[in-house]
């Protein structure tokens, strides 16, 4: 593969609002009598719940796999199947693997691009942290939702407890970083158009996620979220070469649909061409 050239990075930032209770599972550590069956993941230093970048990234990728009708052709453990291209011809036309990356198996060695997207962990906003501190919650920063499983034949009830971050909690700022790469300078403009289509794939994944759920128990009401107060900042390669060149704000205080309908592509291409 020819040498890969970084043309810039797109920084997408904003907040994640939990419209319903949010459960992203953590490790219970040990079995306590009367303890919570399904605890949420927490920061080990301050015990505050957060949204792991891996959870956000993994859910977006799974939704995009179904959106693009990709086969679940790779087994992870015993019970999990995911999509990951195995051949260069498949990889070259797969927006999901182009964005999220693939394992360096022999058939693809030297024939893939770097993973384009980075999704960072997202923590409670100061406003939500203060509100949860003052709220009369069941545990620190969270609520306990009791569910009952009913035996379809005997009608025997088995209660179970699930820990959730309450509805109305806001996390942020979240950050998604998307890199733009080119191979051949003679066709840079065409390649950049394709690269920006890959960024739209990320936005598609976010829009799909808003209409689905994050974390567990989504079919039972948990996990509805909204991406809000979005801002897009672009740092061209010139920003890294010359400290006097500032990043450019492409959009501010928008939602996913408004951003996808905007002229962000033209603004980014103009910023690259100006150098």
| C-alpha to C-alpha distance for 169 and 135, rounded to whole angstroms | 12
Q: Where are the alpha helices (DSSP H) in 33-141?
A: 53-67, 88-92, 95-100, 126-134
| C-alpha to C-alpha distance for 199 and 217, rounded to whole angstroms | 29
Is the pLDDT reported for residue 215 higher than 70? yes
Q: What is the pLDDT confidence band of residue 103, given thresholds at 50, 70 and 90?
A: confident
Residue 80 to residues 69, 74, 76, 213, Cα–Cα distance (Å): 17, 8, 5, 19
Q: Which pair of structure tokens corresponds to residue 180?
A: 């733009």
| C-alpha to C-alpha distance for 256 and 262, rounded to whole angstroms | 10
Average pLDDT score over residue span 125-138: 93
- 9-46: buried (b, 16+ CB within 10 Å) or exposed (e) per residue? bbbbbbbbbbebbbbbebeeeeeeeeebebbbbbeeee
pTM reported for the whole predicted model: 0.91
Cβ atoms of 182 and 195 closer than 8 Å? yes
Burial class of residue 86 in the structure, from the number of CB atoms within 10 Å of its CB (0-12 exposed, 13-18 middle, 19+ buried): middle
Q: Which helix (H) or strand (E) element contains residue 122?
A: strand 122-123
Average pLDDT score over residue span 72-83: 82
Average pLDDT, the chain: 90
Quote the percentage of the chain above a pLDDT of 70: 92
**pLDDT of 33:** 40
Average pLDDT score over residue span 178-186: 85
**pLDDT of 12:** 98
| C-alpha to C-alpha distance for 55 and 195, rounded to whole angstroms | 24
Average pLDDT score over residue span 150-160: 74
The pLDDT tens digits of the residues spanning 21-62 come to 999 986 654 444 445 668 999 999 999 999 999 999 999 999
Cβ atoms of 214 and 52 closer than 8 Å? no
Q: Which pair of structure tokens corresponds to residue 73?
A: 């052709």
The pLDDT tens digits of the residues spanning 227-244 come to 999 999 999 999 999 999
**pLDDT of 185:** 67
Quote the percentage of the chain above a pLDDT of 90: 71
**pLDDT of 36:** 64
């Amino acid at each position: 593969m020819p040498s890969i050239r970084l043309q810039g990075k797109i920084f997408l930032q904003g907040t994640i609002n939990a419209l319903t209770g949010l459960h992203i599972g953590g490790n219970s550590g040990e079995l306590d009598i009367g303890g919570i069956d399904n605890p949420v993941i927490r920061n080990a230093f301050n015990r505050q719940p957060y949204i792991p970048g891996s959870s956000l990234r993994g859910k977006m990728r799974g939704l995009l796999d179904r959106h693009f009708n990709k086969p679940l052709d790779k087994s992870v453990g015993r019970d999990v199947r995911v999509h990951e291209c195995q051949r260069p011809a498949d990889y070259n036309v797969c927006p999901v693997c182009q964005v999220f990356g693939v394992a360096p198996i022999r058939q693809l060695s030297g024939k893939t691009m770097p993973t384009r997207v980075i999704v960072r962990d997202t923590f409670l906003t100061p406003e939500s942290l203060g509100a949860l501190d003052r709220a009369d919650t069941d545990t620190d920063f969270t609520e306990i939702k009791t569910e009952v499983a009913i035996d379809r034949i005997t009608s025997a009830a088995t209660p179970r407890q699930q820990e959730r971050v309450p509805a109305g909690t806001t996390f942020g700022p979240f950050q998604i970083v998307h890199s733009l790469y080119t191979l051949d300078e003679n066709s840079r403009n065409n390649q950049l158009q394709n690269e920006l289509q890959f960024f739209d794939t990320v936005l598609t994944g976010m829009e799909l996620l808003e209409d689905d759920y994050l974390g567990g128990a989504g079919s039972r009401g948990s996990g509805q979220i909204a991406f809000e107060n979005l801002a897009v900042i672009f740092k061209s390669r010139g920003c890294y070469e010359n400290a006097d060149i500032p990043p450019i704000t492409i959009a501010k205080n928008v939602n996913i649909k408004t951003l996808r309908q905007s002229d962000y592509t033209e603004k980014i291409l103009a910023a690259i061409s100006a150098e």
